[in-house]
């Protein structure tokens, strides 16, 4: 909402503030000023001049040499403009003065404007400049009487030597307000003026609306019928005849222009003026185009079409409210009129409408039509029906005052259920207790006065004017008090009451550990979107019958690329890695902790299972086992110290992932991660086809841990085992075995058969190649034996080794000599 300060001052005549004071105080009382524009910015030493003599330039055909009376003196000005003649009054910037922009303003004015110096044009001295409207910082849009590419001509009665900026109404500042949606009343000049009066403790002077109309009665010419009063609480209609279309007066044009409304003609300008002033949109119909001289307000029918006055054909439905005449639709209520009844320059008699339409209905209709207008924007906030009559009378008053036509007497007012004032209890103790203040009752009442909240001593209530739809309970009244007491005057304290222990939830603590472990291992934190394209499943080679494809679709997505809620974090991770690869970043390691969304059934009837996934991805240095190390580092940090299992088949999957080999991973380089009888995640090398699909030209390794399982198993507990006092014995074994046998099986044997004496074992060599039979590999382990309470005897170690070797042999593993 943009409004010139001068317009506000028209209703708060005692208001004397600087622009900055106004902006700060209004913002602090709740009418936020978003910006301001001084209309006289960069305009200096600009006066009204009169051309007393005009001659051709001796050496240039296109230039004129003018003698201009500027009041105190007559100066010579050379100009290239040609729309001037002797006797014209024009704005003149004197030498040393300043204008806002150049005549060839392309919309961009220099920050400090343009300084005007005396100079010579083709040898003839010039001591100033006559100004176009662009040079004065405005446009022809707002000064419709300004010529194209010419000097702005002032009215003949303008006093010579006067301040031309003042004369043009540019000694003003336009403020831009951000109005909150609850303050419908402030989408109007009067609403803001009322706030300004309350903010600066000045008197608010509402415009005086006089009686209008001739001796006739509108009811003799027009009938109004409201068939759907639920969508139209009030409908006011008056008529104007003998219309004389002409430009509106300058003062009205200036105010509209400052509000960003383009002046058109007296009729249009009056409706716009009243809309700005009261926040009440009005509509005008050509009376002679209304069949049956009748207005019927009712819902449209599904499938109806209607041509709005912008020429577009609109498809209507039965939830849209239409204004009809005796035969046909003439206006989509509150949104836009029709081509068939619009006011033309030949209009003789018109019907004025000031109505109140249901805000929600206008909003939804406007949304369905894809048609938002100044009018619908106002209606959809929910207007006060009591304003309609005021606005109507105001408009008719302006019609008469501006000589725009003859207002017919009387008003048709269909207003079956009058909206009455609400009352709210006045409870100063509650207010002070809520705010933490100690404001006197009298002080509070003083704040209410300019707001027209009227106190009734009889029942200790406040009567709330109907335009203040935002006030309906004690807390709302408290806000009024707070606003005018000043939020900045309310003290600052900390909550009293019992102290409480602040903490992270256990889950968030696990996530924190995950971040630390990942970062420790060189992984940086990524964040990716929760929604993605259904096409990602193909890119990830996920088969069409896989449960992972059961993703929740969004009803109104931004586009297909963001249309389903992800069921795996893979696409986000791979896309991020691909971005890095594409930008030639080397050795990239990323992790993300974010949710996947697994529906129990589709369509969704209850909330899905939101599972937090801890995913890691990398390319460059490192391999499968690097990733495995990261997983183990994390599990160790959360105190999951039992044996971690790795199953390459996925055949016994119990987790949230599909059973069998994971299709997006390399079939020979993947494992499900098991802990304490539960599957907690997976890791592996990404399938080369998938890396191709993502255009990553390197091997990519991934690990995904299902955080709910981690949260369930994390202990953050560690038990000390005594530091060894007795010496250990180490035995190395070197074996040859079939390739298919996994070292995990060997380790299981070492652990089981070696018994308690085995302190640790370490794989120190693994080899396949020319020295070994095809299909076989050589594996070497170093096993350390130790007892906590004695020095081991050779016999004991040998015994343990015999058990191990026997079990290995049973697996078909041979010892290498």
Partner 1 sequence: MKEKLQKIREEALAQLESSDTLDRLNEIRVAYLGKKGKLTAVLKGMKEVAPEERPRVGQMVNETRAAIETYLDSARKKIADKMREEQLKKEVIDVTLPAQKNHFGHRHPNTIALEEMERIFIGMGYEVMEGPEIEYDKYNFEYLNIPANHPAKDEQDTFYINNDILLRTQTSSVQVHAMEQGKLPIRMIAPGRVFRSDEVDATHSPSFHQVEGLVVDRNITFADLKGTLAEFAREMFGEQTKTKFRPHHFPFTEPSAEMDVTCFKCGGKGCRFCKGSGWIEILGCGMVHPHVLELCGIDPEVYTGFAFGVGLERIALLKYEIDDMRLLYENDERFLKQF
Choose the binding region for partner 1 from 392-400, 526-534, 733-741, 799-807 (rule: CB under 8 A): 526-534
* Closest distance of CB 464 from partner 1, Å: 14
Q: How far is the CB of 434 from partner 1 (least distance, A)?
A: 6
Determine, following the binding rule CB under 8 A, whether residue 364 of this chain makes contact with partner 1.
yes
Segment 438-477, which members bind partner 1 (CB under 8 A)?
470, 473-476
Question: Taking contact as CB under 8 A, which single stretch among the options 54-62, 441-449, 454-462, 497-505 is the one that binds partner 1?
Answer: 497-505
Q: Report residue 260: phi and psi, to 5°.
A: 85, 15
CA distance 671 to 685: 10
Q: What is the 3-state secondary structure (H, E, C) of 327-341?
A: CCEEEECCCEEEHHH
Toward partner 1, which CB reaches closer, 183 or 234? 183
Q: Name which position in 488, 717, 740, 794 contacts partner 1 (CB under 8 A).
A: 488
Q: Positive or negative CA dihedral for 96, 97, 100, 101?
A: negative
Stretch that binds partner 1, among 40-48, 203-211, 399-407, 581-589 (CB under 8 A): 581-589
Binder of partner 1 out of 500, 544, 770, 771 (CB under 8 A)? 500
Residue 752 phi, psi (nearest 5):
-70, -50
Residue 40 is encoded by which pair of tokens?
Answer: 């006289």
3-class secondary-structure state, position 711: helix
Binding part of the chain for partner 1, among 239-247, 328-336, 495-503, 692-700 by CB under 8 A, reads: 495-503
Q: Which of 428, 608, 663, 684 binds partner 1 (CB under 8 A)?
A: 608
User: Residue from 38, 289, 461, 531 that binds partner 1 (CB under 8 A)?
Assistant: 531
The b/e string for 438-472 (b: 16+ C-beta within 10 A; e otherwise) is ebeeeebbebbebbebeeeeeeebbbbbbbbbbbe
| Cβ closest to partner 1, residue 108 vs residue 503 | 503
Angle between helices 266-278 and 385-401 (to 10 degrees): 140
Q: Rule CB under 8 A: choose which of 417, 493, 544, 770 binds partner 1.
A: 493
Rule CB under 8 A: say whether 181 interacts with partner 1. Answer: yes
Site membership for partner 1, residue 565 (CB under 8 A)? yes
**Contact residue for partner 1 among 214, 301, 440, 519 (CB under 8 A):** 519
> Least distance in Å: CB of 481 to partner 1?
9
Is 490 near partner 1 (CB under 8 A)?
yes
- Strand residue runs (E) in 386-460: 406-407, 412-414, 422-425, 454-456
Asked if 518 touches partner 1 (CB under 8 A), the answer is yes
**CA gap 22, 539 in Å, rounded:** 59
- Per CB under 8 A, the list member of 571, 580, 615, 693 interacting with partner 1 is 580
Angle at 344 between CA 343 and CA 349, to 5 degrees: 60
Shortest Cβ 478–partner 1 spacing (Å): 6
> Candidates 204-212, 219-227, 485-493, 708-716 — which segment interacts with partner 1 by CB under 8 A?
485-493
Number of residues that bind partner 1 (CB under 8 A): 91
| Residues 373-432 close enough to bind partner 1 by CB under 8 A | 380-381
Closer CB to partner 1, 78 or 521, in the complex: 521
CA distances to 54, 120, 644, 749 from 78, in Å: 10, 8, 93, 106
For partner 1, which is the closer residue by CB, 589 or 777?
589
Answer positive or negative: Cα dihedral of 365, 371, 376, 377: positive
Does 169 sit near partner 1 (CB under 8 A)? no
Nearer to partner 1, 225 or 512 (CB): 512
What letter does residue 678 receive in the DSSP assignment?
A: E
Site for partner 1 in 25-54 (CB under 8 A): 27-30, 32
Phi first, then psi: what are they for 558, rounded to 5°?
-70, -15
Decide if residue 482 touches partner 1 (CB under 8 A): yes
What span, in angstroms and rounded, lies between the C-alpha atoms of 583 and 601? 40
721 in contact with partner 1 (CB under 8 A): no
Among 21, 55, 421, 610, binds partner 1 (CB under 8 A): 610
Contact between 685 and 701 under an 8 Å Cβ cutoff? The reply is yes
724 sits near partner 1 (criterion: CB under 8 A): no
Which residue's structure tokens are 């085992």? Answer: 721
Cα–Cα–Cα angle for 602, 603, 604, rounded to 5 degrees: 90
């Amino acid at each position: 909402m943009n409004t010139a300060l001068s317009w506000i001052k028209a209703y708060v005549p005692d208001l004397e503030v600087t622009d900055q004071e106004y902006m700060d105080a209004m913002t602090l009382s709740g009418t936020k000023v978003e910006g301001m524009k001084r209309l006289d910015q960069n305009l200096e030493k600009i006066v009204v001049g009169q051309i007393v003599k005009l001659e051709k330039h001796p050496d240039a055909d296109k230039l004129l040499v003018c003698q201009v009376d500027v009041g105190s003196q007559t100066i010579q000005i050379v100009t290239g403009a040609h729309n001037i003649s002797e006797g014209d009054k024009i704005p003149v910037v004197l030498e040393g003065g300043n204008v806002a922009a150049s005549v060839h303003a392309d919309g961009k004015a220099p920050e400090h404007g343009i300084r005007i110096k005396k100079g010579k044009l083709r040898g003839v001295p010039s001591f100033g400049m006559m100004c176009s409207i662009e040079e004065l910082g405005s446009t022809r849009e707002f000064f419709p009487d300004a010529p194209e590419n010419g000097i702005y001509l002032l009215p003949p009665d303008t006093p010579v030597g006067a301040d031309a900026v003042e004369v043009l109404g540019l000694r003003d500042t336009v403020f831009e307000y951000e109005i909150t949606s609850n303050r419908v009343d402030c989408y109007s000049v009067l609403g803001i003026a009322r706030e300004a009066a309350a903010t600066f403790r000045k008197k608010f002077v509402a415009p005086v609306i006089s009686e209008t109309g001739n001796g006739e009665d509108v009811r003799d010419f027009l009938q109004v019928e409201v068939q759907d009063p639920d969508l139209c609480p009030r409908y006011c209609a008056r008529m104007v005849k003998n219309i004389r279309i002409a430009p509106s007066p300058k003062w009205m044009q200036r105010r509209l222009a400052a509000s960003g409304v383009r002046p058109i003609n007296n009729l249009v300008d009056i409706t716009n003026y009243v809309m700005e002033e009261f926040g009440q949109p009005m509509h005008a119909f050509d009376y002679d185009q209304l069949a049956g001289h009748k207005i019927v307000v009712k819902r449209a029918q599904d499938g109806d079409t209607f041509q709005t006055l912008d020429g577009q054909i609109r498809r209507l439905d039965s939830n849209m409210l239409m204004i009809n005449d005796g035969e046909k639709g003439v206006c989509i209520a509150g949104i836009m009129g029709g081509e068939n009844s619009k006011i033309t320059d030949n209009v003789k008699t018109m019907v004025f409408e000031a109505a109140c339409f249901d805000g929600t209905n206008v909003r939804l209709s406007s949304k369905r039509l894809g048609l938002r207008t100044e009018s619908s924007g106002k209606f959809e906030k929910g207007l006060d029906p009591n304003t309609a009559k005021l606005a109507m009378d105001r408009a008719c008053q302006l019609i008469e005052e501006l000589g725009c036509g003859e207002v017919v007497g009387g008003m048709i007012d269909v207003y079956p259920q009058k909206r009455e004032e609400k009352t709210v209890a006045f409870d100063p103790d509650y207010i002070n207790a809520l705010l933490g203040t100690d404001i006197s009752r009298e002080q509070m009442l003083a704040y209410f006065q300019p707001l027209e909240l009227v106190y009734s001593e009889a029942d200790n209530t406040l009567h709330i004017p109907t335009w203040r739809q935002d006030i309906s309970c004690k807390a709302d009244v408290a806000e009024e008090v707070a606003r005018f007491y000043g939020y900045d005057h309310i003290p600052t304290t900390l909550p009293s009451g019992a102290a409480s222990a602040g903490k992270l939830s256990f889950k968030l603590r696990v996530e924190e550990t995950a971040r630390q472990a990942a970062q420790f291992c060189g992984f940086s934190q990524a964040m990716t979107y929760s929604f993605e394209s259904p096409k990602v499943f193909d890119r990830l080679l996920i088969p069409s019958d896989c449960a992972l494809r059961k993703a929740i679709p969004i009803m109104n997505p931004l586009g297909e690329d963001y249309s389903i809620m992800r069921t795996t974090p893979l696409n986000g991770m791979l896309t991020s890695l691909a971005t890095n690869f594409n930008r030639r970043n080397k050795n990239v390691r990323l992790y993300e902790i974010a949710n996947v969304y697994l529906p129990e059934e589709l369509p969704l009837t209850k909330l899905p299972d939101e599972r937090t996934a801890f995913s890691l991805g990398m390319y460059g240095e490192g391999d499968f086992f690097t990733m495995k190390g990261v997983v183990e580092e994390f599990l160790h940090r959360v105190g999951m110290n039992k044996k971690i299992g790795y199953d390459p088949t996925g055949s016994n999957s119990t987790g949230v992932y599909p059973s069998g080999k994971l299709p997006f991973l390399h079939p020979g380089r993947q494992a499900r991660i098991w802990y304490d009888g539960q599957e907690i995640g997976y890791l592996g090398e990404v399938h080369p086809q998938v890396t191709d699909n993502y255009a990553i030209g390197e091997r990519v390794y991934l690990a995904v841990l299902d955080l709910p399982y981690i949260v369930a198993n994390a202990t953050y507990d560690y038990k000390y085992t005594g530091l060894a006092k007795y010496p250990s014995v180490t035995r190395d074994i070197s074996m040859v075995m079939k390739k298919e046998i996994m070292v995990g099986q060997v380790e299981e044997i070492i652990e089981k058969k070696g018994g308690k004496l085995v302190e640790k074992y370490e794989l120190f060599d693994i080899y396949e190649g020319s020295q070994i039979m095809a299909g076989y590999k050589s594996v070497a382990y170093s096993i350390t034996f130790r007892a906590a309470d004695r020095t081991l005897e050779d016999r004991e170690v040998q015994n343990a080794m015999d058990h191990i070797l026997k079990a290995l042999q049973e697996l078909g593993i041979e010892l290498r000599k």
